[in-house]
Chain A
Amino acid sequence: MTSLLIRRVLSGIVLILVATALAFLLVSAGGGDVARTLLGPEATAEQVALKTAQLGLNEPLYVQYWTWLSHAVVGDLGRSFFLSEPVTSALASRVPVTLSVVLVSVTLTAIISVGLGTAAAVFGGTIDRIVQFISLVGHVVPSLLVAILIDVVFAVTWRLVPATGFIPFATSPLGWWSTVVLPATALTLGGVASVSQQVRGAMIDQLGRDYVRTLKSRGIPFFAIVLRHCLRNAATPALTILSLQFVGMLGGAFIIESVFALPGLGAFSTAASSTGDIPVIMGVIAFVVVVVVVVNLVVDLVNAWLNPKARLQ
């Protein structure tokens, strides 16, 4: 178990390094003249050259990346070119918004999907058809449209919750919930569509396994077998899909946020990428990569805990 943990952490670190290096290469390759943009058209060539040197943009790329990385590991992501604010503090005010939406929708997705998928597999019949239909709808309707629809219905028309804006959890948990619930719901439908199908498939597979019959033959009640044995064995494929969904929802949140005018990473990074604000873009990417690596690590560990064979690999 320990060696698994060490190996996964190491490969996660490698992934973070490779990903940020590639991203750095990509965003720096554009060669947009940042200094010129900052100083305006009236600036002289000397002023522009000086500004470029100040920003360190005249160095070779690997030196620039190394400078960025060596600061990043101690929590300094540099200063935004345009916002006159350190990237770290700019991120700190936006990350909670995006993470709130994503974590709530992942949690909702997991709970609803396990319930629906298991019910569909165990009971079949009408319940199964209803779950299949929900899943199909979730696949067919883009969550951007779901977001617009529920925003119009619940916030604009019925005014049940604020249509826009974000209230931090620390300020008011109820207020936080009222600003997060709609965007999270919009993301959840698509997630449930995928994950409930996976749970259903995995449960049907498990229910057909020989061991279920043998456990029944020992007098163990069917629902105890479903809850104790089948769910546990079905969890591994479901978790894999859920972790992929997490990545998807993280990206989806960037878009959904703008429907609800949430001050999260979405609008922030859209603005940064329109202006070529390299430190901000790199900061967002670094944050996303670290979150993804951590989520995958957690999923791997949970799988190892659930599945004795995975512990050996």
Chain B
Amino acid sequence: MSIEGTPIAIDPSTLATSHEGLARRFLRNPLGVVSLAVLVVVTLVGLLAPWIMPQDPNLSSLAMTNAPIGGQYLLGGDSSGRDILSRLIAAINVSMESALIVAGVAAVIGVPAGLIAGYFGRGFEAVSTWIFNLLQAFPVIVILLAIYSVIGSSSELLTAALGVLLSVSFFRLVRSLVIGVKNELYVDAARVSGLSNWRILGRHVLYVVRAPVIITASYIAGLGITLQSSLAFLGITNATVPTWGGMILEAFSNLYTSPIEVLWPAMALGITVGAFVLFGTAVRDTLEGPRVSSRRLKAPRRRTEGAALEDGGALLSVSGLSIGYPQGSKIRLVVDDVSLEVQPGEILGLVGESGSGKTQTAFAILGLLPESARVTAGTIRVNGANILNLPPARVGALRGKVIAYVPQEPMSNLDPSFTVGSQLVYGVRAVTRVSRAEAKKVILGLLARVGIADPERTFRAYPHEISGGMAQRVLIAGAVACNPNLLIADEPTTALDVTVQAEILDLLRDLQKESGMGVVLVTHNFGVVADLCDRVAVMKEGRIIESGPTREIFAMPQNDYTKKLLASILDDRSPLRRGNPGSTLAEKATAR
């Protein structure tokens, strides 16, 4: 831990909010058990100090000056001939006291202030944030020195002041947690249910804040001991009471005579502070739950060359594709034996509900599956070459040039820190190696082509300066910039307003007609399929259950699931409810 500064950052979003079995899970964490045990032992030894200290910690004996280890003094004597072990034990209470005072004072000030500032906001938030920023603008040590010059070496007051200074950690943490919770819909629902602000704070907000506060408290406690020892090391302390920092200082000035003496207080300090930090870390790990391994898993390369059928000149031919995610020792399949084909110039609709595996299939075709995904079987042939057998660099070279992608959310798919133009130019130059000026000309032409009224201005704009519909046009321009043969569009209109959706569908249709590219359109909307697609494949639970020409599927669906899906479309041709609500209902309502 640094001598001062911020404790380990806690990301509230990673903390699981329900706490069942938390204690049990914590005790299964070796780090947690060990650190807790150390803290308990240290505290007990401190409490029992008067009875278990072998010597009076302040008793000097000339004969025992720098006495070696293992004699009458178990850990030897210091430069004044005092028993090091007794002094170590006597110093525990000072350290634990400062841990308690610092963490306690910091929490008592920081937590309520953070709750109020986060929940009620307005004036209190502005003022308190300013004050806490002011506190944070100073190195703690400098303020402590200033305070010391006034109050002298009253260690309780100094540690309490330290608590005040460190309360900013609690304040910031709690405030940001509360602001996050406050905007949750479930808090709105509680308000609408008539809960008062105080009950919402108690029921919904405090619950979320509790665990992170415990974690921070243990870090701050460790920090408190560190800072208290540092002050003692600087010589700012009451010399009659032994402290680890003071012992380090004395041993340090004695370094050339008896270097081993510095080891004992340093170890006592390191172990205790470490136990506090590890305890907090263990609580955090317990709350975060088992960490998902982010290791790069090499997908087993399946060579299914022989099994592949001759694809009669298909642009895209997927056959027997299965994709899974490791779950424990097994692999859970999300795409199961999927086969499909797209001819040049054809638009294939890939339809299904959430979790049907349609997006995973699309990402596999792009070679952009998440790292933990594994392709367990099948081939994906683009222009005849199985991209699953190509080295990653070769697949990368296909992207942009042969296969392109239009994503779902327009805004999150643009980098907010770069202008629209520079992102697009970068993509063009990665594929075609033209000059910057030429790339810019291409992009300006494309922006005009996708229906942007003022291409120059949009080129210079940052993503947050353009609308969602405009951003989707930009992304389409980026996708078709290098004249790809195959376009993968993943729900390209789902995030858009319906009037914008219609325009984007028109644009996709026109671009496809002009260039003759093949398109895989992933969607959940049968209206979009009807508008755009030549053929359609319906997915359910990772499998394609029905596919065929769009008209046929709509007119005569064969599979029961397809029939059910089509039947649940809320068709606006047959109004369900006419006229005013029945008078009987009105009577019932008023009679209540």
Asked if A and B form a direct contact in the complex, defined as CB atoms under 8 angstroms apart, the reply is yes
Residue pair B296, A125 in contact (C-beta under 8 Å): yes
Residue pair A211, B412 in contact (C-beta under 8 Å): yes
Tell me the residues in window 1-48 of chain A with beta carbons closer than 8 Å to chain B beta carbons: 15, 18-19, 23, 26-27, 29-30, 32
Stretch at the interface among B1-9, B83-91, B199-207, B335-343: B1-9
Produce 1/0 per residue, B481-495, CB < 8 A to A.
110000000000000
Tell me the residues in window 187-203 of chain B with beta carbons closer than 8 Å to chain A beta carbons: none
Stretch at the interface among B19-27, B375-383, B395-403, B537-545: B395-403
Chain B residues whose CB sits within 8 angstroms of the CB of A247 once the complex forms: 5, 136-139
Chain A residues whose CB sits within 8 angstroms of the CB of B147 once the complex forms: 26
Nearest chain B CB to A214's CB is how many angstroms away? 4
Query: Complex formed: what's the CA distance from A216 to B414 in Å?
Result: 12
Chain A residues whose CB sits within 8 angstroms of the CB of B278 once the complex forms: 136, 140
Stretch at the interface among A56-64, A65-73, A88-96, A268-276: A268-276
Query: Of B145, B150, B256, which is within 8 A of A269 by CB?
Result: B145
Residue pair A15, B146 in contact (C-beta under 8 Å): no
Tell me the residues in window 257-276 of chain A with beta carbons closer than 8 Å to chain B beta carbons: 258-259, 266, 269-270, 272-276
Query: Complex formed: what's the CA distance from A140 to B259 in Å?
Result: 23
Query: Complex formed: what's the CA distance from A187 to B400 in Å?
Result: 47
Residue pair A273, B2 in contact (C-beta under 8 Å): no
Query: Of B134, B234, B371, B400, which is within 8 A of A255 by CB?
Result: B234
Q: A197-B9, A219-B427 are in contact. Are A274 and B148 (CB under 8 A)?
A: yes
Q: A217-B399, A255-B234 are in contact. Are A210 and B412 (CB under 8 A)?
A: yes
Residue pair B136, A128 in contact (C-beta under 8 Å): no
Q: A152-B259, A258-B234 are in contact. Are A144 and B139 (CB under 8 A)?
A: no
Chain A residues whose CB sits within 8 angstroms of the CB of B7 once the complex forms: 139
Query: Complex formed: what's the CA distance from A144 to B418 in Å?
Result: 43
Chain A residues whose CB sits within 8 angstroms of the CB of B233 once the complex forms: 144, 255, 258
Residue pair B3, A219 in contact (C-beta under 8 Å): no
Chain A residues whose CB sits within 8 angstroms of the CB of B148 once the complex forms: 273-274
Chain B residues whose CB sits within 8 angstroms of the CB of A197 once the complex forms: 8-9
Residue pair A218, B6 in contact (C-beta under 8 Å): no
Of chain B, the residue at the smallest CB distance from A122 is: B296
Residue pair A218, B416 in contact (C-beta under 8 Å): no
Query: Complex formed: what's the CA distance from A148 to B398 in Å?
Result: 57
Chain B residues whose CB sits within 8 angstroms of the CB of A26 once the complex forms: 146-147, 150
A101 within 8 Å of B (CB atoms): no
Query: Complex formed: what's the CA distance from A164 to B146 in Å?
Result: 26
Query: Complex formed: what's the CA distance from A234 to B256 in Å?
Result: 47
How many B residues face the partner with a CB closer than 8 A?
A: 85
Tell me the residues in window 316-373 of chain B with beta carbons closer than 8 Å to chain A beta carbons: 363, 366, 368, 371
A156 within 8 Å of B (CB atoms): yes
Residue pair B145, A219 in contact (C-beta under 8 Å): no
B56 within 8 Å of A (CB atoms): no
Residue pair A248, B1 in contact (C-beta under 8 Å): no
Query: Complex formed: what's the CA distance from A18 to B524 in Å?
Result: 59
Produce 1/0 per residue, B202-246, CB < 8 A to A.
000000000000000000000000100110011110000000010
Chain B residues whose CB sits within 8 angstroms of the CB of A309 once the complex forms: 416, 462, 464
Chain A residues whose CB sits within 8 angstroms of the CB of B462 once the complex forms: 308-309
Chain B residues whose CB sits within 8 angstroms of the CB of A15 once the complex forms: 134, 137
A232 within 8 Å of B (CB atoms): yes
Query: Of B5, B262, B371, B404, which is within 8 A of A217 by CB?
Result: B404
Stretch at the interface among B111-119, B268-276, B307-315, B581-589: B268-276
Nearest chain A CB to B275's CB is how many angstroms away? 9
Tell me the residues in window 270-304 of chain A with beta carbons closer than 8 Å to chain B beta carbons: 270, 272-278, 281, 284-285, 288-289, 292-293, 296
Query: Complex formed: what's the CA distance from A31 to B191 in Å?
Result: 53
Query: Of B245, B262, B273, B407, which is within 8 A of A140 by CB?
Result: B273
Q: A143-B3, A211-B415 are in contact. Are A288 and B138 (CB under 8 A)?
A: yes
Chain B residues whose CB sits within 8 angstroms of the CB of A191 once the complex forms: 2, 5
Of chain A, the residue at the smallest CB distance from B422 is: A228
Tell me the residues in window 175-199 of chain A with beta carbons closer than 8 Å to chain B beta carbons: 187, 190-191, 193-194, 197-198
Residue pair B134, A144 in contact (C-beta under 8 Å): no
Query: Of B2, B11, B281, B398, which is within 8 A of A252 by CB?
Result: B2
Residue pair A270, B134 in contact (C-beta under 8 Å): no
Chain B residues whose CB sits within 8 angstroms of the CB of A270 once the complex forms: 145, 234-236
**15 additional A-B residue pairs with CB within 8 Å, beyond A216-B396, A270-B234:** A29-B150, A138-B1, A144-B3, A144-B229, A190-B3, A198-B9, A213-B363, A215-B427, A218-B430, A219-B397, A219-B431, A222-B396, A244-B6, A248-B6, A251-B138
